[in-house]
């Protein structure tokens, strides 16, 4: 069975995390699997395990990937018919955030562990920001469960061309004083037409405005920080007056606006469930957004009993489906 799984999913590495032995000691784990991860059941033991993992992660000078059965959920929806989150879930959530780990989403199934009528998602893959920067196309999917209580977890790093990106409105635009005025002026200048056509036409000036006002956000921040440093250097050498003070305040205010815009942008792109609880760490949200984009892509479709994995074929099939549903008498109202 293991050989068949390895061949079917083209696995480069295979790890068996849990056995059917009634008693498994730390010695057994080290002897059989080396660095395998199997979560404790008791809250105090979980805290000890996470502390040990924190120590290991702190020693690592390479990208980190932690995968296995953590024996804990992060959110209510990760357990069937939940009543409340256990205290260990809040502890685990704090630990994930403190280490700035990204919990890779699982799109093709809801739960990973099943026993009778009970099921939950206690198996997961956590990766560091450095891991996602090194392997930007990392994504996770579930495999078959077979005779085990747990589903197979598959970690992939496959680059797929997604084609043109769809147009979207960004929340950060509304922090710019001239945005709404620009939209109002452009809308008035559009020729009378159907509402959907006017929206499509509006995307052209919006793209242009975004390019002129929001492009190279990091470079804008970098230049402002450099200017602030120059003013600080002037103050350090004794060159200080009200003009210098006013310039520094203006630079800091402007820089703060761009920090805010960048934070808003990546929180929107990430749609993180942790966003309201975390600091404005744009690097963290940038990688969450990247993980969400990878998770949302469609690798294959079953069309009339035939599995299509070709990206061009998938696009044609989706386009044909919506063309059939939204035209003529088949249009959905």
Q: Is residue 37 part of a domain?
A: yes
Q: How far apart are CA 35 and CA 97, in angstroms?
A: 22
Q: Is residue 6 part of a domain?
A: yes
DSSP class of residue 86? -
Q: Choose the final residue of a domain: 157, 189, 216.
A: 157
pLDDT tens across 198-229, in order?
877 888 888 888 888 877 788 888 888 888 88
At residue 126, the pLDDT reads: 92
Q: Please tell me whether residues 124 and 17 are part of one structural domain.
A: yes
Q: Please tell me whether residues 179 and 132 are part of one structural domain.
A: no
Q: Please tell me whether residues 280 and 313 are part of one structural domain.
A: no
The radius of gyration of the chain's CA atoms, rounded to the nearest angstrom, is: 25
Mean pLDDT for all residues in the chain = 77
What is the number of alpha carbons within 13 Å of residue 282 lying toward its C-beta? Answer: 12
Q: Please tell me whether residues 315 and 262 are part of one structural domain.
A: no
Q: Please tell me whether residues 32 and 84 are part of one structural domain.
A: yes
Q: How far apart are CA 328 and CA 317, in angstroms?
A: 18
Q: Angle at which helices 43-59 and 87-98 pack, to 10 degrees?
A: 10
> Cβ atoms within 10 A of the Cβ of 42, count?
10
Q: Angle at which helices 195-214 and 179-189 pack, to 10 degrees?
A: 140
Task: Give residue 241's domain range.
Answer: 171-286
Q: Please tell me whether residues 187 and 49 are part of one structural domain.
A: no
Q: In what order do the strands lie in the sheet with 65-69?
A: 65-69, 123-127, 102-103
Q: Please tell me whether residues 113 and 73 are part of one structural domain.
A: yes
Burial 265-275 (b: 16+ CB within 10 A, else e): bbbbbbebebb
Q: Please tell me whether residues 121 and 25 are part of one structural domain.
A: yes
Angle at 180 between CA 177 and CA 183, to 5 degrees: 135
Q: How far apart are CA 127 and CA 293, in angstroms?
A: 16
Q: Is residue 111 part of a domain?
A: yes
Cα–Cα nearest to 257, from 168, 172, 170, 171: 172
Structural domain total, the chain: 3
Q: Please tell me whether residues 242 and 137 are part of one structural domain.
A: no
Cα–Cα nearest to 218, from 129, 128, 286, 137: 286
Q: Is residue 69 part of a domain?
A: yes
Q: Choose the final residue of a domain: 107, 126, 157.
A: 157
Q: Please tell me whether residues 261 and 197 are part of one structural domain.
A: yes
Q: How far apart are CA 74 and CA 61, in angstroms?
A: 27
Q: How far apart are CA 173 and CA 154, in angstroms?
A: 38
pLDDT tens across 128-177, in order?
888 887 888 888 888 888 778 888 888 887 655 555 556 667 778 888 88
Q: Is residue 181 part of a domain?
A: yes
Q: Please tell me whether residues 14 and 113 are part of one structural domain.
A: yes
Q: Please tell me whether residues 211 and 307 are part of one structural domain.
A: no
Cα–Cα nearest to 220, from 248, 188, 256: 256
Block residue for tokens 């203006």: 250
Percent residues over pLDDT 90 in the chain: 4
Which of 34-43, 89-98, 234-243 has maximum average pLDDT? 89-98
120 pLDDT band, cuts 50/70/90, is very high
More confident residue, 247 or 293: 247
> Is the pLDDT confidence value at 331 over 50?
no
Query: CB-based burial of residue 123 (10 Å sphere; 0-12 exposed, 13-18 middle, 19+ buried)?
Result: buried
Q: Is residue 164 part of a domain?
A: no
Block residue for tokens 């109002």: 184
Angle at 83 between CA 80 and CA 86, to 5 degrees: 95
Q: How far apart are CA 54 and CA 100, in angstroms?
A: 11
State both tokens at 57.
């992660």
Q: Is residue 165 part of a domain?
A: no
pLDDT tens across 16-70, in order?
665 555 665 656 655 554 555 566 778 888 888 888 888 888 887 788 888 888 8
Q: How far apart are CA 299 and CA 297, in angstroms?
A: 6
More confident residue, 278 or 155: 155
DSSP class of residue 71? S
List, in sequence order, every residue forming a beta bridge with 118; answer none if it has no partner. Answer: 115
List, in sequence order, every residue forming a beta bridge with 308; answer none if it has no partner. Answer: 301
């Amino acid at each position: 069975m293991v050989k068949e799984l390895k061949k079917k999913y083209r696995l480069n590495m295979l790890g068996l995390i849990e056995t059917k032995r009634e008693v498994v000691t730390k010695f057994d784990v080290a002897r059989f699997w080396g660095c395998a991860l199997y979560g404790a059941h008791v809250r105090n033991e979980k805290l000890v395990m996470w502390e040990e993992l924190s120590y290991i992660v702190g020693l690592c000078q390479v990208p980190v990937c932690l995968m296995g059965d953590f024996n804990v959920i992060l959110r209510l929806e990760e357990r069937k018919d939940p009543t409340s989150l256990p205290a260990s879930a809040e502890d685990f959530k704090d630990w994930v955030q403190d280490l700035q780990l990204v919990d890779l989403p699982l799109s093709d199934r809801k739960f990973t562990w099943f026993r009778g009528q009970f099921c939950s998602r206690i198996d997961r893959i956590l990766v560091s920001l450095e891991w996602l920067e090194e392997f930007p196309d990392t994504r996770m999917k579930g495999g078959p469960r077979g005779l085990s209580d747990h589903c197979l977890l598959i970690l992939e790093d496959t680059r797929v061309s997604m084609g043109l990106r769809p147009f979207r409105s960004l929340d950060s635009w509304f922090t710019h004083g001239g945005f709404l005025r620009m939209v109002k002026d452009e809308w008035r200048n559009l020729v009378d037409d159907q509402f959907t056509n006017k929206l499509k036409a509006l995307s052209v000036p919006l793209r242009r405005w975004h390019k002129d006002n929001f492009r190279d956000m990091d470079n804008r921040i970098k230049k402002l920080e450099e200017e602030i440093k120059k003013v600080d250097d002037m103050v350090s050498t004794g060159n200080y007056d009200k003009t210098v003070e006013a310039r520094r305040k203006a630079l800091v205010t402007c820089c703060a606006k761009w920090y805010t815009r960048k934070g808003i942008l990546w929180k929107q792109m990430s749609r993180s469930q942790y966003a309201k609880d975390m600091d404005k760490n744009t690097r963290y949200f940038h990688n969450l957004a990247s993980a969400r984009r990878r998770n949302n892509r469609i690798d294959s479709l079953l069309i009339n009993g035939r599995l299509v994995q070709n990206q061009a074929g998938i696009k044609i099939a989706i386009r044909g489906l919506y063309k059939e549903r939204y035209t003529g008498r088949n249009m959905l109202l």
